[in-house]
Structure formats: structure tokens, C-alpha cells
Amino acid sequence: MFRYENAADLRGLVNVLTAFRAACLAEPVTSGLPARLVPDGYRIVTRAVHMWGREDGSFPDTAILSKTGGEDSDVAGGYPIVDFMLPTAKLPDGACSVSWKRRWVQDYPDGANRLSLDMAASLPARVSYHLGATLLSKPNDIFAIADSYSDLTTWRTECWATKPCRFDVNARFDQEGIDITVTSRGEVTK
């Protein structure tokens, strides 16, 4: 699922978008999907194990593809996290998201200004290209150079081979690094 080196640049972003396409758009979420998609070096844990380090039964219908098995260590290592909410009576299609937080200094000790500007400015084009998506939310009226950039956008693309689906991209690029979450929202009815 992760074809490129996990680096705080376009390679890492493409990994996130590719993982989102495979996990959330290519086919419906099922209980067997996480096991089919788990990348080399990753493991499957429940949300309780990922958040608290132990299973307490509080999130039985979840599966998280995690590099380290723990949320804090995945974030500290800058590893993408694939989060599945398995189908239930209340959520028959399940839900899916891919999140990634990575500090620039992990890969580029002196590139924060240039990288945050480049990643923020090119994000809509990258999402559109890599996910075959159309922006539904209103685009920003202006783009100005700043110390941090954040945006929440809603997109539409084809999922499950024939259905129109919506998803959200919540992204922040600042002097520290990247923080992005791509979340499926289910089918579009119109």
C-alpha cells in the first residue's frame, strides 16, 4: 500500500492518498478488508489497543493498520495510520480514514518554510489527480504566504467501482510539519 519512502514530502503524501484509495474507495469496508491490505511491517489492532495500549472491549468493531501498535508511537514516528470502522447495524457501510502526522525535521532539517508552502499550495491538485476527485467545497479565494496553512475540503469521486462518494481532507502544514486526515463520508445521493 505504501509504494514510496515515508518522508515528509510528496512521497509521503502520495502514500497517504494511495492508501486512502485502496482502503476507503476501492471496495466497501468489510471485516476482512484490513487483513487484505495490511502493509509489510504493520499490524492490525483495535482502536482501544491503539489509543490506550490494551483491549477493553470499548471499540469492538474497529481495525487500525498501525506500524507500532500505538497511537503515540505511530505519530512520533511519523507513520500513516489507516482506521476502519467495520460495518454495524448503525453504520452498514462502515467508515474509513487515513491520517498522517510527520515533522519536517525527520527528513529535512532546514526545509520547513519551503516544504510547508509547496505542500499546502499543491494539495488540491494532488488530491484531484491521485484520487480522480472533484472539489465540492468552496475553494479558498486567496492563497498567501504564511507560517501555517490549514484547510478542510470536501471532495467527490467514484468508489466501489460505480458509486459516487464524498470524502473530506483536513490538512495542516506549519513550521513543525504535516498533519493530514482523509476521511470517507459515504455515498453521494445526488
The domain tally of the chain equals 1
- 3-state secondary structure at position 7: coil
- Distance from CA of residue 14 to its chain's centroid? 10
Give me the pLDDT at residue 113, please. Answer: 77
3 domain residue, yes or no? no
Range of the domain at 25: 10-187
Upper half-sphere CA count for residue 44 (Cβ side, 13 Å): 15
- The pTM of this model reads 0.92
Give me the pLDDT at residue 180, please. Answer: 98
Give me the pLDDT at residue 187, please. Answer: 66
Nearest to 82 by CA among 102, 106, 99, 94: 99
Give me the pLDDT at residue 190, please. Answer: 56
Question: Along the chain (190 residues), what's the average pLDDT of each consecutive run of 10 residues?
Answer: 90 96 94 94 93 84 95 96 93 92 91 85 95 92 84 93 92 94 77
26 domain residue, yes or no? yes
- 3-state secondary structure at position 78: coil
4 domain residue, yes or no? no
- Beta-sheet strands, E only, within the chain: 43-45, 62-66, 81-85, 95-103, 134-135, 149-159, 163-173, 177-187
84 domain residue, yes or no? yes
Give me the pLDDT at residue 25, please. Answer: 94
Torsion of CA 96, 128, 113, 182, to 10 degrees: -10
96 domain residue, yes or no? yes
d(CA 94, CA 185): 10
1 domain residue, yes or no? no
Q: Which CATH number fits the domain that encloses residue 47? A: 3.40.1000
- Tell me 140's DSSP state: P
Give me the pLDDT at residue 188, please. Answer: 63
Give me the pLDDT at residue 54, please. Answer: 83
Give me the pLDDT at residue 123, please. Answer: 94
d(CA 38, CA 65): 6
156 domain residue, yes or no? yes
167 domain residue, yes or no? yes
Q: How far is CA 161 from CA 22, 136, 144, 165, in A?
A: 12, 20, 38, 10
